[in-house]
Structure 1
Amino acid sequence: MTISDNEILSLIVDEGNDVTYLSDIENYKLYFVNRKGLEILGNPGVDEWYGRPCYEVLQNRTGPCPFCTNHLLKEGSFYEWSFYNEHMKRNFVKRGTIVSFNGRKTRMEFAIDVTKICDMEKMLKQELAVQKVLIDCALALNRESKEGEESIYAFLNIIRDYYDADRTYIYEINEEKQVFKNTYEVTRKDIKPQAAGQMELPLSTVERWVETFRKGQIYYISSLAEVEDKESEEYRMLAARKIESLLAAPLVLEGEVIGYLGVDNAKENPDAEVLLRLAPEFVVNEIKKRQIWLAAKNSGYMDELTGLGNRKKYRHMIEWLEQQYQEEFGIVTADIDSLRNINNAYGYAWGDHMLKYVAQTMTKCFGDYVYRIGDDEFVAFCLDIDKDHFEEEVRELQKSAKWDEQLQIAIGSSWYEGECDIDYQITVANEKMHINKLKNYKRGGGQKSIQKYRGVLADNLQREIETGRFVVYLQPQINLKNNQIGGAEALIRRLDEKGNIIFPNSFVSRYEGDEIIRYIDFFVLESVCGILKKWKDRGRQDVGIAVNFSRVTMMEDEVVEKMRAVCKRFGVEPGQITIEVTESIGMLERDTLKQLLDDIQKSGFRISLDDFGSRYSDLALLSLADFNEIKLDKSLIDRLEIGGKPRVIAEYVLQMCMELKLTHSVAEGIETVSQKAILKNFGCELGQGYLFDKAIPVSEFETKYLGF
């Protein structure tokens, strides 16, 4: 049909706020776009759209649209269809026809914007789908199954199917080891799931996750490329498991984060967080049920083999002591060295006999308050006794439980005076027990197979050191007043067979347990001396380096002489080196500790009290030596911006440093400008943390901070 300009405009007006346009059928040129259409396009000028192809202006394409409906349009009738415009990001219901305009066949189209209706429909469908999934989850978890495990796996499969994910899983926090540990996991058929308990994720690796969880929020990664630090343990972990996207929802019980529910590589509904906001409650309820089931299963209080109280009774005893017992008392811990080796070599009957012997010996010395809390671990509480009498009983126990070729017992003790929590005093006793265990190994005698095994481990470690599998990185310490370099801390890194960096939390504790950590400690010291020698030759002696030494190494005979000998070999003054000792060293006997610290300082080394303000903080340590430095623990720095107690503690510690005229105060773990400003205002001298720089290779440190 032929239509005049006025008739066209009349039709357009009749359509109201619909998007309306005219375009040539053959060359696609636009002749008209109405007010509504121009608003959606951002109100371009006439010269920006008139006469240009409709596919350019309306669809942002370089050629005719493959979905063009020109061939479906006819004169005298309307063709109707629905369409989502990717360029405009809108849904439309359309009506189109062909008219004659200025003698040309022209497409006339009216489009009703139904985006809001479609979004609402999508949202309603999603809510209905989530409701159905939640009902299915509730039904799955209510099914009867042994210890609830089958029902949890059914629950995880429902979540996985909804997201069409590679895997869904539950990780729970192991407070003792400070890790997330996998407890349940389901995967696609072509992906092998990890066995329960085999995957550990250190909390330090995913600090951002934990912080998000504590805020009650879901941790979301839409793409692995979002992780900025490609050298971080978080990135390595995600890449190793081929996780491109992640949804992780916190599991919270009585206000505490106890784990998280995770979804990897969701291909459907990746933005549907509502399910993961509601589903964790089902999981937490299931964990509660499991805890109740386990409590019922282990409701007994006695160890069947020895007749002693078990770990449950031991915890009840601690609660009673904390709440009702007001007097001083002694704590003794003991364990049988290498019980597994004994069982393998002489049989389980002989191992059981030894366990009974230790139980009887401890009961004879300490009465009824003796507990077997692990396979080879014992704890005793000695009540209604003075300290001198208690120490006499401990000496008697050491005589009665003397070691021979088959039986070797390590013993530790502490005296509780109500000055700090009982768990801490038990930790003190445990530390002394481990030190005594180390001394037992050094005596020789029996346990030849164990010593031989440790020798093999030491040889392997030394070989790895010699072949370059360990490297020293430096993390700068920045003067908070002038932002200049003020020092550095040496940190060890291990390289795997492919050259990937492995961080110390993955190997240091193992080497400490095997008592071969001294090779790492002295390798770092030698490396630092080599670095300082090079700096000295280039005229830079104003930057010192801090070195960490394990408590195990510090208990080695003549350790200070060995440290000084290393410095002498490289021609480096010990005063350029700061020996960092953690507050856990305060668990040693005071006389032994004071002698050790005095020897270190008399040899010219500087001493830093590391991790100050952490759980085992002991102000009494400050009276044992003139520490050159106090280093505030990251746990204090993390909470500075919150205010309240952490900020007050930090302020008073730094004030104390100034009053004691200590050379340095250092804050580690600074990550924000606000933390830096607060610490600077409190008088802190040096700052260390990701705000300034991470630990970096020595050559990079020298270029960035020394200008080499």
Structure 2
Amino acid sequence: MEQDMILYETPLLDELEEIIYVSDIRDYSLLYLNRAGRSLTGLKQEDVRNSKCHRVLQGRDTPCPFCTNAKLSKDGFYVWEYENPHLNKNFIVKDKLVEWEGRPARMEIAVDVGDRVKERGSHTSKYHMETVMLETLRVLNTADCLDDAINRTLEMIADFYGGERAYIIEIDRVQGFARNTYEWCRAGIPSQKAALQQVPLDGIPYLFETFNKKQHLIISRTGELRDSYPSEYRYLTARNTDSLFAVPFEDESAFSGYIGIDNPNINQDTIKLLDSIAYNIANEIKKRRLYERLEYEAAHDSLSGLLNRESFVHFRNDLMRSGKAVSCGIVAGDINDLKQLNRDYGQSRGDMTIKKAASVMASSFAGASIFRLSGDEFIIVSLESAYEEFMERVGKMEWMLDSRTPNGVSLGCTWEEHLADFDRLMRHAEELMLVNKQIYYKDSSQERKHYSPEYLNRLLQDMEEGCYRLCLQPKYNPLTGKVCSAEALVRYRAAGTESTQPLNFVPLLEKTKLIRYLDFYMLEQVFKLLSDWKERGRELIPVSVNFSRITLLERDLFRVLTDMQKRYHIPARLVMIEITESIGDIERKVIESIGSKLREAGFRISLDDFGANYANMSILSIMQFDEVKLDKSLMDDLVENQTNQTVVKCIIDMCHSLQVECVAEGVENQEQLELLTSFGCTAIQGYYYSRPLEIAEFERI
């Protein structure tokens, strides 16, 4: 994931010994000059932003005629050599366009190559020490890839000393280990890098103490260590090291690693070259660590260690541009009551909860991309994972989050076998997360006490007072003229008011993710009605109940359905779950899972509003329906429109072939009824037979 380099003034840049400055590309004003640059130029820190780069660094009153601004880009460094007469220094210069404090700027890193040669001391013409020194400097400061540059430098060092293996060992004082980070081996010499990844520092006391004193290490014969330093003897002989040159390098004046040459074949007097090169390599490694740290901080959330919102935007854009049709699972998470934790117990408690949640997510979805989008919001994107594995991970993670955080985390998850629309998949996951968040609010007494959502409280109160009323619209068999089943419809009527149609309240409930409560409330009213009919000895007929797409996606759906069915002792086959054509917008695997679980529980399934917009025919191949309901829009001009008649007849014939009952909805006159009967339609619903009825009215027909 590539991003523009976005930098801010930071003490980290002052740690480097190279001259680093940043200037405005428009007016040449200095925006930053690090400590090394201020020391060389004599410029005070408070005067940096009042100065021009060409005045401070070149002694010029006007912009430099050789200015490289026009040659710079954000993609890589422009590298050149320059002898600065004003500062009396020779530099290798690396320039790049960056974003500094929100504006485009030029960053320059200048490496002094003149003093390094002078500091090296005596020359060894036989082995061209000066040539090797300058060449390693050039490679380290001009290569696009630091790893390649260091490997090439190690090769040159090994060639110069005639060694079999050149390598870099870095020290982790916190963990107490030494680690081989770079290595070059001559042909026929086996690599030791993999075996030297966690060498305990207390296992090499002689080496560690020598380097800690900033001394070189020259071992002419490893055998001499056998008695006095047995651990080092074993350490070296295990990799066939008979002799060794090694010099330490520092970070912030502390020993942080060393460069070693195994089995060199020239005089130890030349170790000064290795000392000089070690300094330059260490400085490049230090710069790399700094850049890595800056890039890490730009891409990660500092508290949780997860990727941040900016990284999510880049990830999403890269994924959509790639066009990869891979399987994709998304989990949206929101920590419950985080604000309450911060208020009641202090921000440290909230921060600890965030860290615990992030740790659980990282361990549950190793290898996935995990983002903290805001204070309590998280997104997990798992690519190329099987549906069963993905759902199993989600389930285990939810259990761990519930057990390791004070109030748990509300989750919503979706999965698609062939990713087509990332934003749609993400939206579905967030919708489900919000549904589960509402469930948490309802079940949490503390949340109701302090933050009870207005709409939820009002909805629950209206349900308790019976404002949402169950009506039934009968479905008739056109051949017998008798009621064969019914659809449960909801009407709202507060005390002393007129009945209100669903169009006036359902959209708000869907928008606020509260529709699940109404769906389950109406389902229970149907079970109660059927139970009442059963007790009174009335004939039981199938009744269909409308479920929103959000309710169908709820993970507790099947538990609620089966618990309710068992509580009222009504056969599940008498309750038909009506879903709309919009379910086709849900991921295929999820649709299959919903359909199979409904059938396993014994419930029948009806596809409502078929043909309302553009019929999603594929839905019929994904989910097995017991009933397909033709939308009223197909009935409106059925009598006059021959093409419409052909379409309707084809749908009815298709239903017969699939052994699915076809219900015509919105039938209002005799002509429509006769046509539909001639086409073989076996169930009719509409005002021709009956409007939606109160229960007492329905029982009289």
TM-score w.r.t. structure 1 length?
0.41
State the structure with more CA Rg: 2
- Which has the higher relative contact order, 1 or 2, with Cα contacts under 8 A spaced 6 or more apart? 2
TM-score w.r.t. structure 2 length?
0.41
